[in-house]
């Protein structure tokens, strides 16, 4: 197992190196930059500022400098906010991770429970209700459901705040501040969970239906095993194998969905900053956020490989034979 993990870590490092080249070239070769969008600058002053920022240096040298700084944890300087990108992204990443992790846990919990119950009660009223929820989740745009929830729960019922992370002029501290943040999290987390649980529930339901028809399940029932043991000890573990591969796309998928959600609910996170950076051509911030999403994708793939090997020992056996 140790050799399997080390091999996957090596592949992870190579993938990130390749992604860094693509990300740098993508933004370095784009026409225009932050200074070209400043209409008040004269051409001479614009050239001076580009020289000070190192934008007139050879492309390879700029990449080597950027990669070296990134390996030291420095992602450049935001020309819009006049702050280092690391200092700018630090609290925003924590805010985005907060709603992303909570939404991820709720999504997988709802999808797992709903998918298993729908599969074991196929064609029942619960299965039909889950199917309707699946189509609704896959069909409704995130901005529409977000605005609808704001209209109902914030504007009409006044149960929840319309957006932000804290109340205006809030001075709460300690546990009161935690509760205040939790109230502001309800709507954006609900949107992310609703959008993510639909497709994942479909995978769990389909996987469980296929496994429940397998020969080894009929054998387990023929031996007189309780239905609970057949479903959770035999069927569920095998049905989880295809769903584990989806973990590689869950974290970056949540952050990608948060770009719209954070804008709608005015949540101070990375997604909202990314939209603003696109408009202002703050490429240092965009490159850092893109590398963050790439890292989350590669990390999710690595975790999926490890979990797949834990759930299915045949993966480790095949890898060991290839290594031999």
Q: Give the pLDDT score at 260.
A: 79
In the predicted structure, residue 313 carries a pLDDT above the cut 80: no
The phi and psi torsions of 121 (rounded to 5 degrees) equal: -120, 50
Q: Is residue 281 part of a domain?
A: yes
d(CA 33, CA 14): 29
Q: Is residue 4 part of a domain?
A: no
Q: Give the pLDDT score at 322.
A: 54
> How many folded domains does the chain comprise?
1
Q: Is residue 296 part of a domain?
A: yes
Question: Which tokens sit at 231?
Answer: 């479903």
Q: Is residue 2 part of a domain?
A: no
pTM here?
0.79
Q: Is residue 191 part of a domain?
A: yes
Q: Give the pLDDT score at 323.
A: 52
Question: Binning pLDDT at 50, 70 and 90, where does residue 21 land?
Answer: very high
For residues 293-312, give the mean pLDDT: 78
Domain of 94, CATH number, reads 1.10.3720.10
Compute CA distances 95 → 54, 79, 86, 195, whole Å: 32, 22, 14, 20
Q: Is residue 240 part of a domain?
A: yes
Compute CA distances 109 → 77, 190, 198, whole Å: 40, 13, 12
CA trace torsion 241, 245, 251, 254 (10° rounding)? -90
Q: Is residue 59 part of a domain?
A: no
In the predicted structure, residue 318 carries a pLDDT above the cut 60: no
- Sequence-separated (6 or more) residues with CB below 8 Å from residue 155: 162
Q: Is residue 41 part of a domain?
A: no
Domain with 156 in it: 85-323
In the predicted structure, residue 118 carries a pLDDT above the cut 80: yes
For residues 87-113, give the mean pLDDT: 87
The pLDDT tens digits for 223-260 are: 888 888 888 777 877 777 777 777 666 767 666 667 77
In the predicted structure, residue 324 carries a pLDDT above the cut 60: no
The pLDDT tens digits for 180-192 are: 889 999 999 998 8
d(CA 105, CA 137): 17
């Amino acid at each position: 197992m140790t050799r399997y993990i080390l091999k996957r870590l090596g592949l992870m490092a190579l993938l990130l190196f390749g992604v860094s080249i693509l990300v740098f070239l993508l933004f370095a070769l784009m026409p225009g930059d932050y200074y070209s969008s400043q209409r008040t600058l004269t051409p001479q002053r614009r050239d001076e500022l580009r020289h000070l920022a190192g934008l007139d240096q050879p492309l390879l040298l700029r990449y080597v400098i950027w990669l070296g700084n990134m390996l030291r944890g420095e992602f450049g300087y935001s020309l819009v906010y006049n702050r280092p990108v690391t200092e700018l992204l630090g609290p925003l990443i924590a805010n985005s991770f907060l709603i992303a992790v909570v939404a991820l846990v709720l999504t997988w919990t709802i999808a797992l429970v709903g998918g298993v119950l729908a599969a074991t009660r196929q064609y029942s009223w619960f299965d039909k209700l889950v199917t309707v929820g699946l189509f609704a989740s896959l069909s409704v745009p995130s901005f529409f459901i977000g605005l609808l929830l704001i209209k109902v729960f914030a504007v009409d019922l006044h149960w929840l705040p319309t957006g932000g992370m804290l109340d205006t002029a809030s001075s709460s501290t300690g546990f009161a501040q935690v509760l205040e943040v939790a109230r502001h999290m309800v709507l954006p987390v609900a949107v992310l969970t609703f959008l993510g649980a639909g497709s994942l529930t479909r995978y769990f339901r389909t996987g469980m239906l296929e496994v429940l028809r397998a020969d080894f399940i009929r054998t387990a029932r023929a031996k007189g095993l309780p239905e609970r043991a057949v479903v959770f000890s035999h069927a569920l573990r095998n049905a989880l194998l295809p769903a584990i591969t989806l973990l590689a796309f869950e974290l970056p998928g949540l952050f990608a969905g948060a770009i719209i959600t954070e804008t709608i609910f005015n949540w101070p996170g990375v997604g909202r900053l990314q939209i603003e950076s696109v408009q202002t051509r703050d490429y240092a911030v965009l490159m850092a956020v893109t590398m963050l999403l790439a890292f989350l994708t590669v990390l999710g793939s690595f975790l999926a490989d490890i979990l797949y090997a834990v759930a299915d020992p045949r993966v480790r056996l095949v890898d060991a034979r290839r290594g031999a």
